[in-house]
Amino acid sequence: MARSVVITGGFGVLGSATAKAALDRGWRVAVVDYAPAPSAEAAAALDGATIVGGADLSDPAAAQAAIDRAREALGGIDSLLNIAGGFVWQTLADGDPDGWDRMFALNLKTCANASRAAIPALIASGRGRIVNVGANGALKAAAGMGAYAAAKAGVHKLTESLAEELKGKVAVNAVLPSIIDTAQNRADMPDADPGKWVRPEALAAVMLFLASDDAGPVTGALLPVTGGV
């Protein structure tokens, strides 16, 4: 039976790549994003998916409403992929203190709120799976990565805790990518070698494995996906 999957942050580079890969597998897909509508480029990849835009997943009520819309459109939820997030580089001394709140809201609160909203449907599925996006850079934070790494470390611990909370009901895992090969990252790091980075399509394949029945009893795993970094 084709899986029904909800992807948060679905209008972004990784989200749209993951949605396209899921659609290519014949899965039923709903994408949720803060933006009101996808870009033209993302829209092409999302052809065939249910679109839920304008959803502030850092707000519990808005997250519940967005997940409910996706569940109703799909007729249920088998897998939730929490890709919504954000990044800022700033030192503690010179950075904006509000940046810490923003990193936790974008990365950790969105993940927690979407997961909470989806849990009843995932349990009802009988084969529910949650896949979160952590960060390899949260295992040892570099200078300027404090706020981002702390928020992603929170995603790691939420993954482990939720895996225990839902053991036997819903499998919960996370991928820990290094640098994802995006146009923005190439522009921000012109002297780096993007050949060592992780392609969005490759990371999407790993996430869809964890979201599938093929992953079997795997739960509570924090899986590094680091390419050549």
Catalytic residues: 148
Residue for token digits 């850092």? Answer: 58
| CB-based contact 163:172 (threshold 8 Å) | yes
Structure tokens at 60: 């519990």
| CB-based contact 106:151 (threshold 8 Å) | yes
List strand residue ranges (DSSP E) for 43-160, in order: 50-52, 79-82, 128-133
Specify the 3-state DSSP secondary structure of 172: strand
Structure tokens at 223: 């899986």
